[in-house]
Structure 1
Amino acid sequence: MVDSGTSYRDKVSQLISWGHWFSFFNIIAAMLLGTRYISQSGWPDTLLGQSYLIFNWVGHFGFLVFALYILIIFPASFIIPSQRLMRLFAVIVATVGMMVLLLDIYAYQTLHLHLNPLVWELLLSGEKTDMNAHWQYLFIAGPVIFILELVMAEWVWRKLRKLTRKRVGVPVASVFALCFIASHLIHIWADAFIYSPVTAQRSTFPVSYPMTAKTFMEKYGLLDRQEYQRLREQRGQETSEVIRYPLEPLSFASDANKYRPNLLVVMVEGLRADMLNPVTMPHLHRFATDNLWFKNHFSSSNDDMAGLFGFFYGLPGSYAQSARTEGLRPVLMDTLNQRRYQLGLFSGDNFSNPIYYQSIFSRALDRDTQSEAPAWQADASAITSMQSWLQGRQANTPWFGYLELATVNEYEQGGDYAQPFQPALNSGMAGVDQQTGLVLKNSYNNAAHYLDEQLGELIQQLETSGKLANTVVMITANHGMEFNETGMNSWGSNSNYSRYQLQVPMVMHWPNQPAEQINHYSSHLDVAPTLMESMLSVSSPADSYSSGVNLFELESQSRKWVLAGDSRDIVVIQPQKTTVVDKFGNYKVYDRHYTPLPEGKPQLSLLMQVMHELKRFYYPEDHEPQ
């Protein structure tokens, strides 16, 4: 019995010692494979960002492999009696782990996503695509990895006594532990102070959940929560990748300076597409029927910032934080500046969205000239100021006027204007029980009706002064507004991706273009290439600076879907359904009325196009930002 017990303990002790060294060499192998994530994501610019990447690379893969050993191989050392069988079991576990890592690397390189439900759905789909064909070749590596693991396991077993005598186990383990701890401590600080060269790396490696401790730091006076909220509001989300925008320097047609029409953009916050009717907005409806009216136009997002970003940059909202972090101005604005367009910027809410002064207009924006009047008064003042500014424009100097109006978005404030739609909110109706969907919708209609009268005066001035003959006019919105039409208790905006929140007006006056109602699907992403190609004579292909297409080429493009969303969600809008994919890879498919389709599945080929578009403007693995 004593001999048997001693033999068992010796076998287990030997297997545990072997398992440690076997895990160590697998950590080295995983780290070498993990360099693919680094090459795909790019090398950080700052010393702290580079230090964090190295610490995280060493510590994270050391933790992953060792955790696999502790959870599976270590307990099995006490259960499986045969040392040979135990080593074979460990080799199988290691082979499976390496295969999963290879699959994750392939998914990250192809889709910029780690393994998640969506990726598995795509990989296991029966559709015949290049992705499905390529990833199946990875299984050819399975036998090769198994043989290499078997050889390594046997070599470690034979050299175990010599390896044990070197007494390097503790120093090696200490290095991995220190790197693991250091990476999390650095991320705690970076997360608290929104240091993007570090926080942007939180999703570089698989199963990565870096530590945060804002509550702990605030408790002990190490973090000012108000200052943190202020920084976060200014900088947006904490993560960003290095964006390459545009993909190549722009080129212009030889006759670029011969024709320079003026440009006027009216952005009505929160105005949904069905408000353009002869009852609610008669003036704008008349203007739409007399010009180009895009009947199926969608914002690039259901929130303020991403909707504006898509309009000016021509890129999906997922790129917004990268552009804001790097302070990249839209190529549209840079081109207008190069062509010496005079800027006239007017806003009813004092350009309160940070993206205006952080990147879109940057230093050209004077935010101290507007008063803090109610939205309806501030909008009227902004329109008056724009009218005065327009009167002073010289005929031989091109100009760009931008007018942002907030009355519709702030409809609950009400105002001293006509209220033709009743019952509606007013100063005497503060009770929550009175704020039914009908009351709120009528108040919204009243705000739109009032703003229509104000815009009617602006349009009339343009017509009587003759400026329309040489001015491109765009009237649209950053997003729509919902009043629970979907029956999902969704109100306002940024609560779901129904057409009520995404579909917005797009009315465009283009000199010498006949009136037309266009039913092809269009998007805010199409605005930048339209203006760049058809107004500013840019000859570079649109896909070098935008994800959209020229609005005048919609028919030839045969577009079957448009893209929307933000940093959290990917939204694919098709005529009969909408697919929403969150950042964790979970997806839902809805019909045209935004009713969930329980059996709905995303189309692999379509999502492959979308994923490609969402990573196309990031630096490729073989390109270092200068």
Structure 2
Amino acid sequence: MNKNISHSNQISFLINWGHRYTAFNIIYSLLIALLYFYANPLPNTSIGIIYFFVSWLGYFSFFCFLFYIIFVFPFTFVIKYSRVFRIYTIFISSLALTFQFVDVNYFNLYKEHFSLFTMFQEPNNTISIHYLLIFPILIIINTLTSQWLWNKTKIKTKKNRKLTFSIFMFLLSCFLISNIIFAWADATLEKSVTMQRNSFPLAAPLTAKDLLIKSGFLKENQYKLSKLYEKHVEKVSKISNFKYPKNNITYSPKGNNLNILLLDIRGLNNKDLADIHQYPYLSLFSKENMFFKNTYVASNNLQKSIFSLFYGLTPNYYSEIDNSKIQSVLFDTLKKFNYKINFFLSSPSKADDYYRIILNNKNIKSFHVKTDSENPSTYTDVIKWLDSNDSSSSPWFTYISFEFKSDIDSKFQQILNRLDLQKTIVIVTNSDVPFVNDSTNIDNLKTPLTIHWPGIHDTKFTFRDSNLYSITPTILSKLFEITNPLSSFSSGCDLFDSCTNNYPIFTASTSNIYLIFKDKFIMLDEKANYYAFDKNSYLNVQETENPDFDLLDVSFDKYNSFFKKINNQNDK
């Protein structure tokens, strides 16, 4: 800089240069911040999308300008030499952008923002040292930017000030508008906006809940329910935090490997099993064996219900399993002990619901899909397969899915006659229970479950509440004697044990979540509306107006136990 220039003009020149340099760093920061969008899918509402982009533009612009005010602007008056000032500014701005680049990659990997606290809390969360190579690259980019701006910068005129002020006001408006939108969304429980709370580092969006609750515009209980529900949904959506099973599986198997037949009859209900005149063999089978009359289906979505049946998990984990292609502990165990695994389906229209499970489990080699009208039919294939394997020394696991028709009882008789019941576990149930989304009749969520288990005929537990996602842990714990705690690989329990921690039983429709307890059941819809019903009268209980938040929080934590805990103050 010219030595003859006055000190005041030098200061003005450096401030003008600093503004322009900061403007370019805002652009660089916004470009890096685009990578945060990989971990945050675009919302499905207009207001969510608007907030998505306005907050991106306003947040990083505001923090870059704040960074300039705190770490650059004061040194305009302190550092006498312009070259030293520029070197300092290049270094510290490149360091800040490097930290942002590291954070965005850490966030995409672990869904948490990078800090010393997270490093100590989660020592297994590491990030490649190669990301630090961005620092010299940013030094070069900022040096070239600095030099180019230095040559272009002039003493600020009124026209320059107007342009700078207009840009500043636009970016400030974006920041303020994003906070206003979030405050409104937080008050009106607009999840497409509030779920973006933690998208950016150091973010603390404006909320106005206390004022709105005091003024009567917002119900405190409804707000708390929404926050609790949102916390549950946010955990479920974080794929990288999912771990199944929690630990390596260890076994202490018995010498006698029993065959397993799982007969899934779509449309079968408890009344049918009680009809001894219409369905004598099915009815007699349920009476002579262990009939769990208070069994609940996992979901009214067949695909998720089948998933829960074979994985022993509640349906909220379906997306994580499907995305990560993790194999079921059940099928891994069957393969380990040389079981032949076979699937027989009599409805091709339902086959797609099974294919997703099959694709994740490469141990399933035999998969037969035919209609009942085909010749030979699925039933014929089943009989043929059972006859050919009657004398086989290798144990087998066979899943058969039939539609509930008038000839189902005779088919069941023929299958049963071909089994050695001293060496075969037989499970009869129905995983396809399409109950309505807003059902307040708990009986609509029930499904039949009858189990024949050689050497076990204890009916003292058959009258308590049970669920289909407990079938898998029962097989694994009783037949293969897995030594791991059931909670390390399943949401269910051992059906032949006391299952004192079984409650609540978790059932989901496409829009509602049901939590079933010993004397009541709770329904939460997608807007976090809360309904509590007595199990016997189906009438609303007093708790509907005063929810037990501690009970709900513990229940949700239990069924999100396969997601890694995240320490986040915003969840409090």
For normalisation by structure 2, the TM-score amounts to 0.57
The AA in structure 1 aligned to 2:423 is N
Q: What is the aligned counterpart of 1:504 among 421, 432, 447? A: 447
Q: Take 2:242 and 2:387, find their aligned partners in 1: how far apart are those partners?
A: 40
CA distance in 2, matches of 1:175, 1:456: 76
- Out of 295, 308, 311, the position equivalent to 1:310 is 308
Rounded Cα–Cα distance in structure 2 between residues aligned with 1:51 and 1:610: 26
Match of 1:586 among 488, 510, 529: 529
Question: Could you say what secondary structure the match of 1:454 adopts?
Answer: helix
Aligned residues: 380
1:262 to 259, 262, 271: 259
Aligned to 1:10: none
What do residues 514-558 of structure 1 show as CA deviations (whole Å, max 9, x unaligned)?
Answer: 2636101111121121111111221111111111111111x2526
- The residue that corresponds to 1:205 in the other structure is 196
1:247 is displaced (CA, Å) by 4.1
**C-alpha distance 585-622 of structure 1, shift in aligned 2 (>3 A):** closer
Amino acid at match of 1:391: D
Show the counterpart of 1:354.
352
Give 1:50 shift: 4.6
Give the secondary structure class of the aligned counterpart of 2:421: helix
| Mapped partners of 2:40, 2:499: distance in 1 | 50
1:334-373 CA-to-partner distances (Å, cap 9, x unmatched) read: 22122221111100113725342123454566899544x4
Q: Displacement, 1:206?
A: 4.7
Counterparts of 2:248 and 2:408, CA distance in 1: 38
The 2-side partners of 1:364 and 1:589 are apart by: 43
Determine which of 563, 568, 580 is the counterpart of 2:511.
568
The residue type equivalent to 2:382 in the other structure is M
Cα shift readout 1:376-401 (whole Å, capped 9, x = no counterpart): 54699222211211222254211110
1:597 alignment counterpart: 540
The answer (yes or no) to whether the contact 2:493–2:499 under 8 Å persists in 1 is no
The 1:386–1:205 alpha-carbon spacing in structure 2 relative to 1, beyond 3 Å, is same
Question: Cα gap change, 1:497/1:454 in structure 2, threshold over 3 Å: closer, same or farther?
Answer: farther
Equivalent in 297, 300, 317 of residue 299 of structure 1? 297
**CA offset at residue 296 of structure 1?**
1.2
Select 2:411's aligned residue among 454, 461, 469.
454
1:291–1:507 Cα contact (<8 Å) kept: yes
Partner of 1:151: none
Match of 1:137 in 2: none
Q: Are residues 1:617 and 2:570 paired?
A: no
Amino acid corresponding to residue 528 of structure 1 in structure 2:
T
Compared CA separation, residues 619 and 574, structure 1 to 2 (3 A):
closer
The answer to whether 1:383 aligns with 2:326 is no
1:104-130 CA distances to partner (integer Å, 9 max, x unpaired)?
xxxxxxxx9xxxxxxxxxxxxxxxxxx
Any idea what SS the aligned residue of 2:164 has? Answer: coil
- Comparing 579-588 with 238-247, greater Cα deviation is found at 238-247
d(CA) in 1 for partners of 2:260 and 2:309? Answer: 14
1:392 aligns with 2:388: yes
Equivalent position to 1:529, from 473, 476, 489: 473
Q: Does 1:49 align with 2:6?
A: no
Name the amino acid aligned to 1:384.
Answer: T
- The CA distance in 2 between the partners of 1:386 and 1:243, in whole Å, is 41
CA positional deviation for 1:615: 2.4
Q: Tell me, what secondary structure is at the counterpart of 1:312?
A: helix
Structure number with greater Rg is 2
Partner residue, 1:520: 464
Paired letter, 1:381: S
Partner amino acid, structure 1, of 2:326: L
- Aligned partner of 1:476 in structure 2 is 429
Change (3 A) 1:251 1:558: closer
Aligned 8 A contact 1:346 1:402 in 2:
yes
Q: Would the alpha carbon gap of residues 520 and 358 (structure 1) be closer, same or farther in structure 2, given more than 3 Å must change?
A: same
What residue identity is the alignment partner of 2:429? T
Which runs of 5 or more residues in structure 1 are unaligned?
Answer: 1-27, 29-42, 67-111, 113-163, 182-199, 209-237, 409-446, 482-491
Report deviation, 1:272.
Answer: 2.0
Instruction: Give yes or no for contact 2:429–2:448 (8 Å, CA) kept in 1.
Output: yes
Is the Cα–Cα contact under 8 Å of residues 343 and 367 in structure 2 kept in the other structure?
no
Between the aligned partners of 2:367 and 2:454, the Cα distance in structure 1 is: 35
Superposed CA RMSD in Å reads: 4.4
Q: Aligned with 1:618: secondary structure?
A: coil
* Aligned counterparts, 1:49-448, within 5 A: 49-50=38-39, 59-60=54-55, 167=164, 170=167, 173-174=170-171, 204-206=195-197, 241-242=239-240, 244-253=242-251, 255-256=252-253, 258-277=255-274, 278-350=276-348, 352-360=350-358, 362=360, 363=362, 370-371=369-370, 373=371, 377=373, 381-393=377-389, 394-406=391-403, 408=404, 447=405
Closer, same or farther in 2 for the Cα pair 1:370/1:622, shift >3 Å?
Answer: same
SS, match of residue 300 in structure 1: coil
The equivalent of 1:545 in structure 2 is 489
Tell me, yes or no, if the aligned pair for 1:263 and 1:473 is still in contact at 8 Å. yes
Cα offset, 1:575, TM superposition:
4.3
Asked if the contact 1:294–1:519 (Cα under 8 Å) also holds between the matched residues in 2, the reply is: yes
Distance 1:331 1:560, change over 3 A: closer
Cα 1:621–1:390 change in 2 (3 A) is: same
The letter for the 1-side match of 2:559 is L
* Distance in 2 separating the partners of 1:607 and 1:257: 39
Report the AA paired with residue 481 of structure 2: S
**CA distances 1:190-221 after superposition (whole Å, capped 9, x unpaired):** xxxxxxxxxx998732599xxxxxxxxxxxxx
Alpha carbons of 1:450 and 1:175: their partners in 2 closer, same or farther (altered >3 Å)?
farther
Counterpart contact for 1:379–1:405, Cα < 8 Å: no
Q: 1:243 to 1:472 in 2, by over 3 A?
A: farther
- Amino acid across the alignment from 1:204: M
> Residue 480 and residue 452 in structure 1: after superposition, are their counterparts in 2 closer, same or farther (change >3 A)?
farther
Compare 294-303 and 555-564 and name the one that shifted more.
Answer: 555-564
- Could you tell me the percent identity over the aligned residues? 20
Contact 1:479 1:501 in 2 (8 A): no
Are 2:245 and 2:329, in contact at CA under 8 Å, matched by a contact in 1? Answer: no
CA contact (8 A) 2:343 2:366 kept: no
Q: Alpha carbons of 1:247 and 1:533: their partners in 2 closer, same or farther (altered >3 Å)?
A: same
Contact residue 55 and residue 174 of structure 2 kept, 8 A: no
Whole-Å separation in 1 of the counterparts to 2:339 and 2:192 = 39
- In structure 2, what is the Cα distance between the partners aligned to 1:622 and 1:560? 26
Q: Give the CA deviation at 1:503.
A: 0.8
Shift of 1:495: 5.8
What is the SS of the residue equivalent to 1:533? helix
